[in-house]
Amino acid sequence: MVGSHISIYGEVQGSGFRSWAKEESNKLKLSGWARKASDGSIEIYVQGEEESLNSFISLCWDGPSFSHVDDVLVQDAQYDESLTGFEIY
């Protein structure tokens, strides 16, 4: 099991990106959270099987239909055993 911290930049706030991230993570059996960042980006922590995580990161480049993604920055993060689902903050 692996974890990643993802920052998504562009026209992403107000586009349904956090709800979309929850839906996509559930499909891929990933856990984590998503929140708005003060700089206008979306911040996501997601964890699970490496192949599913890589699929999720690839999907982030497209995002939901009302978003326009300019950049996706990914950093490895520690796996958090206390997370069981996906939360939106």
User: What's the N-to-C CA distance of the chain in angstroms?
Assistant: 23
**pLDDT of the residue at 59:** 98
Whether 87 maps to a domain, the answer reads no
* Predicted TM-score (pTM) above 0.85: yes
Whether 89 maps to a domain, the answer reads no
Could you report the per-residue pLDDT of 20-65, keeping only the tens digit for each? 999 999 999 999 999 999 999 999 999 999 999 999 999 999 999 9
Q: Which domain holds residue 21?
A: 2-81
Residue 32 backbone zone (phi > 0: left; psi -120 to 50: alpha; other: beta): left
Tell me which residue of 71, 29, 67 sits closest to 46, measured CA to CA. 29
Whether 88 maps to a domain, the answer reads no
55 Cβ contact list (under 8 Å, min separation 6):
28
Total domains, the chain: 1
**pLDDT of the residue at 74:** 98
**pLDDT of the residue at 49:** 96
Whether 52 maps to a domain, the answer reads yes
Read off the pLDDT band of 66 (50, 70, 90): very high
**pLDDT of the residue at 9:** 98
Whether 15 maps to a domain, the answer reads yes
